[in-house]
Structure formats: structure tokens, C-alpha cells
Amino acid sequence: MPDPIANLYADLLPQAAERCERLAGAAGVRIERIVSWGQASPPDYWYDQDEAEWVAVLSGAARLRLRGPDESVSLAPGDWLWLAPHRRHRVEWTRPDVATVWLAVYLPAGPSC
């Protein structure tokens, strides 16, 4: 686990690969910071996760492609998206000229209230 006090905008230098850092977690829940500099999912690759994901864009911008139902979603700072378990999705684009900082919360699949 990282230090108990940190900054979500620290260390945003451009990188060849997307960076994912676990910030916290417990009992099947995890919180991650993802930093993208123009990265996208590989062609024809789809995420298909057992867990639910809540994701917000804090800076930069991104476009995601979703399946079931099929749609394209553009995200700007402050926008967030809920992805139910097994909602197939892929990152089509992130801004190449500025860091796209994501905050992602992963939750176990299960009944909701």
C-alpha cells in the first residue's frame, strides 16, 4: 500500500505504457489510479471482468467502446461511468498530449440494495 497521504496528480510524466497503481483495498474492493498518455486497448481486445467497476476521469479525456448494449462513451474531467460485471468494454482513445488520470473502484459482483 502507498503512503497514507499522497496526491492523485503526482508523478504524471509521459510513459510508453499505461500505469496502474493500487491505492487502497479491503474485502474484495480495490481502488486504483490509472494514468494514460495516449494509450488505448489493443485492437479487438475487450475487458470482461467478474467485478463491477466505477471509474471517473480526473484529468485528460478518453473514449470507451461498450458492448451489450453497444455504445461509445466520451469522458472528460469529472465524468464517471458504472460498468456492471461482465459489461465488455475497451479504451478506444486517451489524450496523447496530457495525462488522463482515472480513479477506478472495483467491487465484487453481488446483489445491490
Per-block average pLDDT, block size 10, for the chain (113 residues)? Answer: 82 93 94 97 95 97 96 98 96 97 92 53
Is 37 inside a domain boundary?
Answer: yes
Is 65 inside a domain boundary?
Answer: yes
Instruction: Select from 62, 51, 66, 73 the least CA-distant residue to 101.
Output: 62
Is 89 inside a domain boundary?
Answer: yes
Is 52 inside a domain boundary?
Answer: yes
CATH number at residue 84: 2.60.120.10
pLDDT given at position 34: 97
Domain containing 102 equals: 31-107
What's the distance, CA 95 to chain centroid?
14
> How many domains is the chain built from?
1
Is 19 inside a domain boundary?
Answer: no
Is 64 inside a domain boundary?
Answer: yes
